[in-house]
A and B are shown apart, each in its own frame.
Chain A
Amino acid sequence: MNRSPYLSSAPSVSVIMVKVMLALVPAIAAYVWVFGAGILAVLALASITALLCEALMLKLRDRPIKPFLMDGSALLTAWLLALSLPPLAPWWLVVVGTFFSIVIAKQLYGGLGYNPFNPAMVGYAVLLISFPMIMTHWPAPLELAEAKLSFANQLQYIFGTSDSFSLDAVSMATPLDYLKTQLTLHHTVQQVSLAPQFGMLGAKGGELVVAAYLLGGLYLLQQRLITWHLPMAFLSVLALMAGAFYLLDPAHFAHPLFHLFTGASIFGAFFIITDPVSGPTTPKGKLVFAAGIALLTYLIRVYGGYPDGVAFSVLLMNMCVPLIDAWTQPRVFGHVK
């Protein structure tokens, strides 16, 4: 008899997911502008794979298919993974990554709301470890590419129907990658950053995408879909780390702004580490979680074996979430801490 409250004000889960996808649209547009329309094919491929995997697993798990397909979470995971991959990725890479994200990382743990790890980052990490060559070879921005690829060329590459060009002809090391390898060859940061793929702050072309992510992120904040804690703590700790190292030795450590505007920093800060399911829920816990990711990301970038470290850092910090939540319980009204 007592089902109060009778009122509700919340947007549904689907609305939340759709709004997050909407926040990704500027970045997708920037991608198309910088790297060509191939990314759209990758997105479509990942979306279809995700929906099929989700439906199949829901059926196997004897769960209602329609409400869970409609919640949009699988689609969002697919988009986040697709946007983490190189813009020109072979079709099987996209399919394998999406499969791991949806089937292994999400559904096998119990589906929406039950995954301890960020599904998109699980898929990404699996691909990065299994196929490091493909995963670290990004196509050069169109304006720098020697051979300009048409949309048709890009599709041919993605679906492997043509062997007329190799990946090497169109790819170029990303600034983070290039910086890392060049530093081992005893160049200074200043010398390295004269290379063509460096833009004003981050990667040439990539900066535009980063700016678009920032725009989307601000939209999420404005819509109160995320709180300031995670992006703020992540970006400021990353900047602090980079700043401290930069001040100690500017020749061997990049400027903090470089770290903020390259790689997955902004994308991660607003769209990846903000996954509510696999993240902490307390305000203080969010600060700790994001700071931990920033710390690990910087260390992996500078000392690790991979150019970027957001995915691994997120997964490592995902493991700490129960502990972080338990240790950061806020003071309850009328209690002394």
Chain B
Amino acid sequence: MSSLLNIVKQGFGLGAVAVSGGVHPPDHKHESTTQAVGQLPLPHQLTLPLRQHVGNLPKVLVKVGDYVLKGQLLAEAEGNISAAIHAPSSGTITSIEDALIPHPSGLPDRCITIALDGKDEWIAHAPIDWRKLETEQDKSKLLEGLRSSGIVGLGGAAFPTQVKLRTNAKSSVDTLVLNAAECEPYITCDDMLMRERADQILKGLEIAQHLLGAKQCLIGIEDNKPEAAEAMRHACANSLLSKLVPLKVVVVPTQYPSGDARQLIRLLTGIEVPADKRSTDVGLQCFNVATVLALHRYFDFGEPSISRIVTITGNVQKPANYEVLFGTSVADLVQAGGGALADTDGYIMGGPMMGFNLPSVSVPITKASNCVIASAPNLFPSAPPAMPCIRCARCADVCPVSLQPQELYWFAKSSNLEKARDYNLFDCIECGCCTYACPSNIPLVQYYRFAKSEIIAQDRAKEAADLARERNEFRLMRIDREKQERAEKHAQKAAGAKAEAAKTEATSATEAPEDEAMAAKKAAIAAAIERAKAQKAAAAPQNVVDAIPSVQAEIAEIDARREAAKQSVTDAIATNEAQEEK
């Protein structure tokens, strides 16, 4: 209904319509936009987590003691979805071991630590000609090169960009959406980037458009960033890209979470990307502004992804934005922000709606870090104790994906995971709107995260069990087959011996033809009995009375497991049916 409305509105050129659901938290963006993007002084040491992106861990190419130059490849992308890591400055590698990383789990992970020499000496690098794109080989060569650029989505998702630039016949991109919504409160890194480097963003956008072959580009900006929108409009008007394809800056109403890629796509184009498809399946691709700027730096200068703009705000003296080398500690950034005020009780990485508490200020800034907020009780008071759900459905009203959070909460709380899945738990984008709107202060998103991880764990366990069962079945089959083969051989031998015996008997008693007939009959019967025995032996593999006890026990165990597996499958089918009936 609302999507129809959207399409109608689009059709009449009425522009963007509000997302369904969504909330309007106070945006607190002006605090950190008063001064230009600053440059942090070169730190003494950088700690680079290997896991800064979505996908496989990269393969480390250096060892402790190696001297590395700025921009040198430290770890290369491994597998399809992965991203390389480069040295953000020159220095010596002092350790490759587990250290605290900015992650909600608070657990340490593998990091490369570089002691900087302060020279900040670049490795040899050169622009890459991205315009030459006549053949498929040209393109795959460019994308292959991009694998070693280390560029990932800088909006916070940190998905390897080279993967998103791959297209094929099935998924060609018609519309390229540039995500500049920046809908989370407090965060202003994209805002400042657009104000100061709009021309460079447009150059990056041109590269993305060229690689994807997109036929139009839309830039979505929330209406609380008029300066950024103006800068982008100006840059668009002067850009080369505007002469190649239709290019439009669309100002959308400020409403969290309009910066979610699928939400923004619907806002700008009226197209709702099907839940089980990728946006490229319906001809759309979406990049963050900082990501395309990184493409520009890589292709036009040969510089890999080694730094980003990060907002330091909240309970600090001077909230602002800084260009920060990856691996710089959060403490250095806080220092640059004038230091935290006295009542600071922690640090949040990301925005207040989807961010997480940092385990320590010593953790490094990574590719996914867009903002650090010093928190204080007056900024983010701790939630009052949760009351029971009164089914007021405010959560459902604000859910941008039209889920029924109150039902999901009920299922998650009672560990009714199958039901939670049925009610589309996995469509939840964890934006936090439901919790924000809950009068009973129920930490709904936490329940969904819990339920999701439980379901994933169960699925994995089931997968493992299935695999084990398959292996076991194969093993049993093999044992059966071998036994059968043995029995057959045995039977053949026996039959051969009997036939031999019968033959001799027959020659010795030529004068008694009735006896001969009798003997032949006997031989046939004996052979039949042998065959039957062999068959029986093949059919009943557990009939191995003379096997050693340990083998017998193993066979019994295998049989029990098989029975149990069979039983569990029947049970599962039964419960499934029961649930379907429900």
A residues neighboring B (CB under 8 Å) = 1-13, 15-16, 67, 71, 73, 111-114, 227, 276-277, 279, 281-282, 325, 329-336
Alpha-carbon distance between A7 and B353 when the two chains are bound, in angstroms: 7
CB pair B391–A5 under 8 Å, yes or no, is no
CB pair B389–A333 under 8 Å, yes or no, is no
The 6 A-B residue pairs whose C-beta atoms are closest, nearest first, are: A113-B388, A5-B432, A334-B275, A333-B401, A2-B104, A6-B380
B335-371 CB mask vs A (1 if < 8 Å, else 0) is 0000000000000101011111101000000000000
Contacts A5-B433, A6-B375 aside, 9 further interface pairs with beta carbons under 8 A come to A5-B432, A5-B435, A6-B355, A7-B352, A9-B436, A12-B384, A13-B390, A113-B391, A332-B427
A10-B439, A336-B274 known; A282+B387 contact, CB < 8 A: no
CB pair B357–A112 under 8 Å, yes or no, is no
CB pair A281–B406 under 8 Å, yes or no, is yes
Alpha-carbon distance between A114 and B407 when the two chains are bound, in angstroms: 13
CB pair B392–A1 under 8 Å, yes or no, is no
CB pair B396–A281 under 8 Å, yes or no, is yes
Q: Shortest beta-carbon distance, B447 to chain A, in Å?
A: 12
A114-B388, A335-B274 known; A3+B407 contact, CB < 8 A: no
Alpha-carbon distance between A336 and B424 when the two chains are bound, in angstroms: 13
| B393 on the A face (CB < 8 A) | yes
Quick one: which of B262, B383, B441 contacts A334, CB cutoff 8 A? B262
Interface centre among A281, A282, A325, A335 (most CB of B within 10 A): A281
16 A–B pairs (Cβ distance < 8 Å), ordered by A? A2-B357, A4-B352, A4-B445, A6-B352, A6-B353, A7-B353, A10-B394, A13-B440, A16-B439, A112-B387, A276-B390, A276-B393, A332-B402, A332-B424, A334-B275, A335-B275
Give every chain B residue within 8 A of A13 (Cβ-Cβ).
387, 390, 439-440
Alpha-carbon distance between A102 and B59 when the two chains are bound, in angstroms: 65
Give every chain A residue within 8 A of B25 (Cβ-Cβ).
7, 9
CB pair B354–A4 under 8 Å, yes or no, is yes
| B143 on the A face (CB < 8 A) | no
Interface residues of B, count at CB 8 A: 61
| B385 on the A face (CB < 8 A) | yes
Give every chain A residue within 8 A of B356 (Cβ-Cβ).
1-2, 4
Q: Shortest beta-carbon distance, B1 to chain A, in Å?
A: 8
Quick one: which of B388, B400, B432 contacts A333, CB cutoff 8 A? B400
| B229 on the A face (CB < 8 A) | no
Alpha-carbon distance between A84 and B404 when the two chains are bound, in angstroms: 33
Interface centre among A10, A330, A335 (most CB of B within 10 A): A10
A334-B273, A336-B274 known; A5+B352 contact, CB < 8 A: yes
| B423 on the A face (CB < 8 A) | yes
Interface centre among A4, A6, A335 (most CB of B within 10 A): A6
Give every chain B residue within 8 A of A325 (Cβ-Cβ).
404, 407
| B15 on the A face (CB < 8 A) | no
Give the nearest-CB partner of B375 in chain A. A6
Alpha-carbon distance between A114 and B388 when the two chains are bound, in angstroms: 8
Alpha-carbon distance between A113 and B283 when the two chains are bound, in angstroms: 45
Give every chain B residue within 8 A of A329 (Cβ-Cβ).
404, 423
Quick one: which of B274, B348, B393, B449 contacts A281, CB cutoff 8 A? B393
CB pair A3–B274 under 8 Å, yes or no, is no
Quick one: which of A3, A12, A276, A332 contacts B391, CB cutoff 8 A? A276
| B438 on the A face (CB < 8 A) | yes
Q: Shortest beta-carbon distance, A336 to chain B, in Å?
A: 7
Q: Shortest beta-carbon distance, B427 to chain A, in Å?
A: 5
- Say what secondary structure dominates the interface of chain A: loop
CB pair B400–A71 under 8 Å, yes or no, is no
Give every chain A residue within 8 A of B387 (Cβ-Cβ).
12-13, 67, 71, 112-113
CB pair A12–B388 under 8 Å, yes or no, is no
CB pair A8–B404 under 8 Å, yes or no, is no
CB pair B352–A8 under 8 Å, yes or no, is no
Give the nearest-CB partner of A336 in chain B. B274
Alpha-carbon distance between A67 and B387 when the two chains are bound, in angstroms: 8
Give every chain A residue within 8 A of B375 (Cβ-Cβ).
6
| B443 on the A face (CB < 8 A) | yes
Quick one: which of A9, A111, A334 contacts B23, CB cutoff 8 A? A9
CB pair B440–A330 under 8 Å, yes or no, is no
| B446 on the A face (CB < 8 A) | yes
Give every chain A residue within 8 A of B353 (Cβ-Cβ).
4-7
Alpha-carbon distance between A9 and B375 when the two chains are bound, in angstroms: 18
| B106 on the A face (CB < 8 A) | yes
Give every chain B residue within 8 A of A277 (Cβ-Cβ).
390-391
B372-389 CB mask vs A (1 if < 8 Å, else 0) is 000100001001110111
B406-417 CB mask vs A (1 if < 8 Å, else 0) is 110000000000
A4-B354, A6-B375, A9-B436 known; A333+B275 contact, CB < 8 A: yes
Q: Which of B422-471 contact A (CB under 8 A)?
A: 423-424, 427, 432-433, 435-441, 443, 445-446, 449
Give the nearest-CB partner of A114 in chain B. B388
- Say what secondary structure dominates the interface of chain B: loop
| B550 on the A face (CB < 8 A) | no
| B168 on the A face (CB < 8 A) | no
Give the nearest-CB partner of A331 in chain B. B402
Q: Shortest beta-carbon distance, A217 to chain B, in Å?
A: 17
CB pair B424–A112 under 8 Å, yes or no, is no
A281-B407, A330-B402, A333-B275 known; A67+B439 contact, CB < 8 A: no
Give every chain A residue within 8 A of B23 (Cβ-Cβ).
9
Alpha-carbon distance between A193 and B336 when the two chains are bound, in angstroms: 81
CB pair B262–A333 under 8 Å, yes or no, is yes
Quick one: which of B388, B433, B439, B449 contacts A2, CB cutoff 8 A? B449
| B105 on the A face (CB < 8 A) | yes
| B272 on the A face (CB < 8 A) | yes
Give every chain B residue within 8 A of A10 (Cβ-Cβ).
394, 436-439, 441
Alpha-carbon distance between A6 and B379 when the two chains are bound, in angstroms: 9
Quick one: which of A3, A4, A12, A336 contacts B439, CB cutoff 8 A? A12
CB pair A11–B439 under 8 Å, yes or no, is yes
Give every chain B residue within 8 A of A3 (Cβ-Cβ).
357, 383, 443, 446
| B108 on the A face (CB < 8 A) | no
Give the nearest-CB partner of B359 in chain A. A1
Alpha-carbon distance between A6 and B435 when the two chains are bound, in angstroms: 9
Give every chain B residue within 8 A of A73 (Cβ-Cβ).
390
Q: Shortest beta-carbon distance, A21 to chain B, in Å?
A: 15
Quick one: which of A9, A276, A333, A335 contacts B392, CB cutoff 8 A? A276
Q: Shortest beta-carbon distance, A278 to chain B, in Å?
A: 8
Q: Which of B173-189 contact A (CB under 8 A)?
A: 185
Q: Shortest beta-carbon distance, B393 to chain A, in Å?
A: 4
Give every chain A residue within 8 A of B423 (Cβ-Cβ).
329
Give every chain B residue within 8 A of A114 (Cβ-Cβ).
388
Give every chain B residue within 8 A of A330 (Cβ-Cβ).
396, 402, 404
Give every chain B residue within 8 A of A281 (Cβ-Cβ).
391, 393, 396, 404, 406-407
Interface centre among B23, B274, B390, B403 (most CB of A within 10 A): B390
Alpha-carbon distance between A246 and B435 when the two chains are bound, in angstroms: 48
Interface centre among A7, A16, A329 (most CB of B within 10 A): A7
Quick one: which of A9, A67, A279 contacts B385, CB cutoff 8 A? A67
Q: Shortest beta-carbon distance, B535 to chain A, in Å?
A: 55
Alpha-carbon distance between A111 and B81 when the two chains are bound, in angstroms: 50
Q: Shortest beta-carbon distance, A77 to chain B, in Å?
A: 13
Give the nearest-CB partner of B392 in chain A. A276
Give every chain B residue within 8 A of A9 (Cβ-Cβ).
23, 25, 436-437
Quick one: which of A8, A12, A331 contacts B435, CB cutoff 8 A? A8
CB pair B390–A112 under 8 Å, yes or no, is yes
Alpha-carbon distance between A4 and B352 when the two chains are bound, in angstroms: 6
Alpha-carbon distance between A29 and B149 when the two chains are bound, in angstroms: 74
Give every chain B residue within 8 A of A331 (Cβ-Cβ).
402
Alpha-carbon distance between A227 and B353 when the two chains are bound, in angstroms: 26
Give the nearest-CB partner of A70 in chain B. B387
Alpha-carbon distance between A10 and B23 when the two chains are bound, in angstroms: 11
Quick one: which of A7, A11, A112 contacts B185, CB cutoff 8 A? A7
CB pair A4–B432 under 8 Å, yes or no, is yes
Give the nearest-CB partner of A11 in chain B. B439
Give every chain B residue within 8 A of A333 (Cβ-Cβ).
20, 262, 266, 272, 275, 400-402, 427
